[in-house]
Amino acid sequence: MQPHRHIGACLAAAAVLIGTAAAAQDTTPPAGVALELNAADLVGEACRITFVATNKGTAPIDRAVYETVLFGADGGVMLLTLFDFGALPMGVPRVRQFQIADTACGRIGSLLINGAGTCTVEGEASDVCASGLAASSRLDIGLQG
């Protein structure tokens, strides 16, 4: 009966090793784009929103354009627009600002990145801008992706 114990112990050890290897793979950050809503300032009659965008992928992004929905503080859709983030080099944060005309920043409740309208890498269409998107906000205005 003791040989069965050794087999059981070997199987348990193998399961631990496989679980450890799977956990190590899970800690690798996904390739894609990290977008952080960093600031919102009233400039005249417009709200200027500032993003920090970081390409966490393995190749420079030639152009990233995101379809963005602005929701009011009451949750209703205010505006659907495109934000052109331009080129995003690998691993280097880029600051991008966009002005929302005739809009006080306090009226904006949240933003939703609805998808990537354009994403090109090495001259070809890519899904890296949307599939690996990580959205965050430093403000009371939420950002979802």
Q: In which region does residue 127 sit, left (phi positive, over 0), alpha (psi from -120 to 50) or beta (all else)?
A: alpha
Compute how many other C-beta atoms are within 10 angstroms of the C-beta atom of residue 131: 13
Read off the pLDDT of residues 30-46 as tens digits, 9 standing for 90 and up. Answer: 689 999 999 999 999 99
The neighbouring-strand residues paired with 94 are: 53
Q: For the chain, what is the radius of gyration of the CA atoms? A: 22
| pLDDT for residue 7 | 53
Question: Is the Cβ–Cβ distance between 50 and 38 less than 8 Å?
Answer: yes
| pLDDT for residue 5 | 53
Which of helix, strand or coil describes residue 107? helix
User: Tell me, what amino acid is at 25?
Assistant: Q
For residue 92, the surrounding DSSP H or E stretch is none
pTM of the model: 0.78
| pLDDT for residue 3 | 54
**Token pair 């690996």 is at which residue?**
132
Domain 33-144 - what CATH class? mainly beta
Instruction: Kindly list the averaged pLDDT for each block of 10 residues, start to end, along the chain of length 145.
Output: 52 47 50 95 97 96 98 96 97 97 96 96 94 95 95
